[in-house]
Chains A and B, each alone.
Chain A
Amino acid sequence: MRFETHQLAQHYPLLFEGLRITLTICALSLAFGIVIGLVACFGKLRERGIAYRIAVIYIDFFRTIPEVVLIFWVYSCLPLMLSLRISAEASGVIALTLFASAYLAEIFRAGILAVPRGQIEAALALGVPSLHIWIRVILQPAIRRMMPALVSFLTELIKATSLLSAIGVAEMAYQASVLGSKTFAYVEFLSAIGVLYFIIIFPLSIYARRAERRLVSRTAN
């Protein structure tokens, strides 16, 4: 078979438009996911009480059900239940926010719990103000510890945006399949987006791996 590069040359702006939507949806759901994830994380850190229970159920639920199911549920059930009109893009962002917040909550929690308890106790004993403890003794080291997990979750999130093509969000995978069916140049367009996804995701996973290794060697010393 022939690889019809002229189809790519002709239609590539649509692929980049798709890429822009992919990245926008990623950024929005990451931002909302961080906020809700933090709330859920602090809920779970309480270790007992009603806030803890709600947070645990929320995190377990959205971590366990498949992203596709969540996307379809938000897209086809939520508007009916709330008697609201929600665009495909908005339902995509809602679904991915729910997904991201549950995973991020666990990442945040692991990061915070990894801060050695003795350091916090030392700061408390020295009478350091509690805001200062939070920022310098807990958050700063915790963020450093959670970076590898955070970045590798980001790669999962980028991959998950491709699922939104199923509800007709015009992101990259959607553009490629529409262009493919229009021009019958499936191979060309699908290979092109495969390469684009790889170019975005691969450096992130390399970074995550390196950061992880650095962290392990630092804690080992």
Chain B
Amino acid sequence: MLGYGGQTESHDRTWGQNALFAAFAIGLAGLLAYQVNWELIGSLDFSVVWEYRLPLLKGLGTTLFLTAIAGVLGIFFGTILAILSQSPFAPLRWAVVAYVEVFRNTPLLVQLIWLHFALPAFTGINTTALESGILAITLQAGAYFTEIVRAGIEAVPKGQWEAAYALGLPDWTRWTRVILPPALRIMIPPLVNLIISFFKASAILSILQVSELMTVTNRISNVTFKPIELFTATAAIYFVLGYIMSQATLRIERVLQRSQR
């Protein structure tokens, strides 16, 4: 009756709702099947994907490289900034907050084009598309990671801070031995989720023709006139890798939860 849980529902009504849902799905599928250009679907030739496997794999390599950069540099800068955000010196805290809010509340695409076109105008340094891409994704990752690390740090009970101060532990020991280890446990699931979302976000860099998977797909499709095969294959690649990563995250979360009890 209430649609979930199962126990309170009478069997007939469950069946009825399933039938309704199935009718909806079949109707939708029928409508689509009527519209679909079956001739074209029949003539699809996925061998083009295999033919261009090397450039596609290379593109995937760049995608994974960008993900790794965003993850490693993002966590590095994020941790430093999160520690700075606990500083007693207020302007420093404000600077961290300003950086985090600007990069979290504007689209990556705008940051990317801004860095690529505007930075040279200000500084005279010309960056290649790949460099601008790495810079943009690192800066945004840094902002998101700062938030996560900061939340992790602030979740550490106050008593542990006080104990560290009372024992007169030096700053370095306090951070590495008292504050960061318990914070890390809280941080791990959102950290891994964030890395997955930067795996997805790296496709945005295709706007600047950074040769990652999406750019390569676009180029091959422009040459071979086979967009359906190529874009579908690329979507499948992103899905399979992304799905594996998110399932792994779920498993990590479950293990962490269990070890906490």
> A residues engaging B (CB < 8 A)?
1, 39, 42-43, 45-51, 54, 60-61, 64-70, 72-73, 76-77, 80-84, 112-113, 117, 120-121, 124, 130, 133-134, 138, 155, 158-160, 162-163, 165-166, 173, 176-177, 180, 186-187, 190-191, 193-194, 197-198, 201-202, 205
Contacts and interface: CB of A to CB of B under 8 A. Distances in A.
B62 interface: no
Contact of B221 (A76, A162, A202): A76
Nearest to B234: A69
B252 interface: no
B53 interface: no
Interface in B1-20: 1-6, 8, 14, 17-18
Interface in B180-208: 200-204, 206-207
A60 B40 CA distance: 27
A170 B117 CA distance: 20
A182 B1 CA distance: 61
> Which 3 A-B pairs give the minimum distances between C-beta atoms?
A66-B203, A186-B117, A45-B4
B231 A69 contact: yes
A59 B260 CA distance: 30
B21 A138 contact: no
B235 A191 contact: no
Contacts of B203: 66-69
A83 B104 CA distance: 40
A159 B6 contact: no
Given A77-B232, A81-B36, A197 B117 contact: no
16 contacts: A45-B4, A51-B17, A51-B18, A64-B239, A69-B214, A73-B235, A80-B37, A80-B228, A121-B8, A155-B105, A173-B109, A190-B117, A191-B118, A193-B110, A194-B111, A197-B110
A187 B118 contact: yes
A76 B227 contact: yes
Among B4, B5, B22, B202, residue most surrounded by chain A Cβ atoms (within 10 Å) = B4
A117 B5 contact: yes
A69 B60 CA distance: 14
A202 B109 contact: no
A124 B8 contact: yes
B201 A66 contact: yes
A61 B41 CA distance: 21
B6 to A, nearest CB: 6
A39 B27 CA distance: 15
Contacts of A68: 203-204, 206-207, 214
Given A77-B231, A77-B232, A82-B36, A65 B242 contact: yes
Contacts of B234: 69
B25 A54 contact: yes
Given A51-B21, A190-B110, A70 B243 contact: no
Interface of A is mostly: helix
Contacts of B17: 46, 51
B110 A194 contact: yes
Contact of B235 (A65, A138, A176): A65
A80 B121 contact: no
B3 A42 contact: yes
A187 B117 contact: yes
B122 A1 contact: yes
Given A64-B243, A176-B113, A197-B106, 5 more contacts: A64-B246, A65-B242, A68-B214, A81-B228, A193-B110
Contacts of A158: 107
Max count, chain A CB within 10 A of own CB: residue among B25, B107, B231, B243: B107
B102 interface: yes
B242 to A, nearest CB: 4
A202 B101 CA distance: 8
B118 A173 contact: no
Nearest to A187: B118
Contact of B107 (A64, A76, A133, A173): A173
B117 A198 contact: no
A51 B37 contact: no
B18 A49 contact: yes
A35 to B, nearest CB: 12
B40 A83 contact: yes
B35 interface: yes
B46 interface: no
A163 B109 contact: yes
